[in-house]
Amino acid sequence: MATSGSQPAAEIGVIGGSGFYSFLDDIEEIQVDTPYGPPSDPIAVGELAGRRVAFVPRHGRDHRFPPHQIPYRANLWALRSLGVRQVLGPCAVGSLTPGYGPGTLAVPDQLADRTSGRAQTFYGEGAAIHVSFADPYCPTGRRTAIESARASAWEPVDRGTLVVIEGPRFSTRAESRWFASQGWTLIGMTGHPEAVLARELALCYTSLCLVTDLDAGIEEGDGVTMEEVLRVFGQNIGRLRALVTDVVKALPTERTCPCPNVLDGMKLPLELP
């Protein structure tokens, strides 16, 4: 299903977790079939800040998908098939920098992939398709997110590198210290391949990172625990949800960034929705 009548079902997509399941008004749930199986759950489409928004729960509503088993390709394909062209990816991350404590908002400009075994392309056969990924996030989306956060008095870290690990375990202290030694500032488990798959579909993608903990190599003690992550995320979910609403409202209706043109001149081995 790509449209409702002659109009897209949604223009903006949000891929999020707990706390985002009921933030839309007048929700319609849409079951979307994709060549990559079903998305994490039926897509919730509704109104937010005067815009048509599609929401997919990244891990499923019952949190049944660990980070390495999320159907990333199905999620992004489903959003595009509904008309989505701009995607926001709020997520919980750890900090590799002592100055970025729990509750910090970060809008990274770079990504480092340390995953293994995840399907991370739509173009694995049929043609050699190489998309530009030097700057993995949409510049317009990042600017809009940073400006919206500042307007709400939540000063963000406006750049940095998010390293994505395979999970579902947390890092050892040695791994954490090595990541930090590379100059990487944030660590998570879901930002890749989400960002590159969005790029391969010519979508705008912006990561909104909420720091929930200092990673194991940065702070003494017992290391990162799921209890700590959920506690800090719960304390800040209202603020993060309000920010997503502000960003949705402020995103431009016309895309003038490079993202829509990333596939120009390429002969694709499949037809995009």
Active site residues: 213, 215
The amino acid at residue 208 is L
Amino acid code (one letter) for 96: L
Backbone angles phi, psi at 3, to 5 degrees: -140, 160
**By C-alpha distance, which of 6, 44, 77, 62 is closest to 272?**
77
Under 8 Å between Cβ of 254 and 263: no
Q: Which residues pair with 57 in a beta bridge?
A: 16
**Phi-psi group of 117: left, alpha or beta (phi > 0 → left; psi -120 to 50 → alpha; rest → beta):** left
Residue bearing tokens 């997520």:
91
Task: Select from 53, 62, 56, 57 the least CA-distant residue to 25.
Answer: 53
Under 8 Å between Cβ of 45 and 27: yes
